Amino acid sequence: MELLNDVVIQCEECGNIIVIKKEYLDAETSSYERQMGPEIVYDIYEECDCEECGNNIKYRISGYEYPVGCFNYEDNEIHGGQFLEKPNMGIVYQVEFDEESIASFLPQVEENIYRILNDKRSVYQLTPREFEEVVEEVFKRQGFQTRLTPQTRDGGKDIIATKSILGRPVMFLIECKRYNEMNKIGVDIVRALYGVQTAERANKAIIVTSSYFTEDAQRFAEQQKTLIDLFDIDDLIRLMENSIQNEQGNF
C-alpha cells in the first residue's frame, strides 16, 4: 500500500498552501491478527512548519490492508491546517496491456466526443475516467503529447501534456472534473492545482470541467496571469469542434 497523491495543506494561521510530494513520505507498518489473517496498518506521521508564518502543522495519513492484498479503508487527521485535497492511500496493482487492448478503447473515446457534440448533456453519462480520456484525446489532437496518470489517483493532475512551442518544450498539468452542471468548481480546487503546478514547475495548469467555475475561482485564476487556464463545458465543446476540424484538415 502507498500514498497515491501529493499532500496539499493550507495553513490555518496564514492560509499559505504547502505541497509535499508523496515520494518524500514513508509509511510505518504494523499488523494485528484477525479472523482472516493479519490486518496491516500503514501510518504516515509527519509535521512541517509553514514557511510564511512558522505555524507547526502535524498530520497523520493511514491505510488499512485486510485481508492481505486487499484495500480495506483509510483515514487521516491534521492539526494546524487543513487538507485541500483528500490524501488517498491505496494498493497499486500492476496490470499489463498489449497494443491491441490499448487501441481498442480509442474508437469509444471518439464516439464519446461525437455524442457530446451532438448533445452536451451526454457528458454527464460518462464516468470520471471516460471524461479524462475524452479530454486527453482532445489535447492530443491539438498537437500535445499526453499521458494519463494512474486511475487510482485523486486530484492534483489527471493528464500531463507536453508540446514544443517555438522550439522550447512546455509542460501542462491538466486536472479533469466531471461534475454535474449545477456543481461548480470552487476556488479551493484551483488553488490546490496551482500549488501542484508551482511545486512541479510546470509551465501551466489547466482545469477542465463538465460544469462551470465560481466567480472566486475565476478571479483567482485571472490573478495568476498565464499560469492557470480554466475550461468549462462550453470551452471544452469549442476545443472538441476545433479538434474535429484539425483532424478533417489532415485528410
Q: What is the pLDDT of residue 184?
A: 94
CA–CA separation, 90 and 227 (whole Å): 31
Domain range summary for the chain, segments of one domain joined by +: 2-90, 99-249
- Summarised one tens digit per residue, pLDDT across range 79-135 is 999 999 889 988 764 444 444 554 455 578 888 998 898 889 999 999 999 999 999
Our measurement of the distance from residue 98's CA atom to the centroid of its chain's CA atoms, rounded to an integer in Å, reads 25
Architecture of domain 99-249: 3-Layer(aba) Sandwich (3.40)
Q: Are 156 and 6 in contact (CB under 8 A)?
A: yes
Query: 3: exposed, middle or buried (C-beta count within 10 Å: 0-12, 13-18, 19+)?
Result: buried
pTM value? 0.56
